[in-house]
Structure 1
Amino acid sequence: MTDYTTPEQLADDAVVVDVREQNEWDAGHAPGAIHIPMGELPSRLDELPESDERDPLPIICRSGNRSGRVVAWLNQQGFDSANVEGGMKQWMYVGKPVVTDSGADAQVI
């Protein structure tokens, strides 16, 4: 089992769980993302979408560090999840769409 994936391997509108803080989310996020900050995850596990039988649930942060820790923890809890390598920085770098809820120009901070 691989505990990572890359932005290039995911659809532009893939459901990913974004574990960054609120200000980072507000600045820009993947269009299909679900926002659950890392510190809130243990109390919000019921909000995680079910992963596909073939594909683990992608977890993303800014650069891949926080999401890597989240993936390790989730997998210990019995979830099938994968770290999105390079995080939102890599997502934006390879030209994947980044949106904001406010309609402002999106950025990764």
Structure 2
Amino acid sequence: MADLSQQDWTKQLKEDNNSVILDVRTQDEVDLGMIPDAIHIDIFKGQGFIDEIEQLDKSKSYYVYCKSGGRSGQACAIMNQLDIANAYNLLGGFTDWQGEVAHKQ
């Protein structure tokens, strides 16, 4: 797991052709907007979160965020335990996000 600043996280994401953006916030938080092209798996689902993470392609790199960086750090640690080697935590999370924001229609 690596904690990356937004600048490093977005730079590395752009250069990574085998990447997935993962939003681990609650549905209510996601409804306020999310980083474009992110997939959503709520970390508060407990075992359901683990079950969904285990279905992911372990060969990909995952760029993980939450509201402020705490839950996404936990998610990255869980992902590492589940044999996903490349999980990158966005420090400051969505709260400090300066990039594009997508809203569900």
Cα contact 1:5–1:58 (8 A) shared by 2: no
Identity over the aligned pairs, expressed in percent? Answer: 29
Q: Are 2:27 and 1:19 equivalent residues in the alignment?
A: no
Structure 1 runs of 4+ aligned residues shifted over 3 Å read: 11-15, 47-50
Cα contact 1:17–1:60 (8 A) shared by 2: yes
Cα RMSD (Å): 2.2
Q: How many residues align?
A: 94
Q: Matches of residues 77-96 of structure 1 in structure 2 within 5 Å?
A: 77-79=82-84, 80-91=86-97, 95-96=98-99
Q: In structure 2, do the counterparts of structure 1 residues 61 and 84 end up closer, same or farther at CA, with 3 Å as the change threshold?
A: same
Higher helix share: 2
Q: 2:72 corresponds to which residue?
A: 67
Q: 2:2 corresponds to which residue?
A: 3
Query: Paired residue for 1:30, among 11, 31, 35?
Result: 35
Q: Report the TM-score when normalising by structure 2.
A: 0.76
Supply the distance in 2 between the matched residues of 1:28 and 1:48 (Cα, whole angstroms).
25
Listed as ranges, the gaps of 5+ residues in structure 2 are: none
Partner of 1:59, secondary structure, is: strand
Q: Report the TM-score when normalising by structure 1.
A: 0.74
Listed as ranges, the gaps of 5+ residues in structure 1 are: 103-109
Partner of 2:31, secondary structure, is: helix
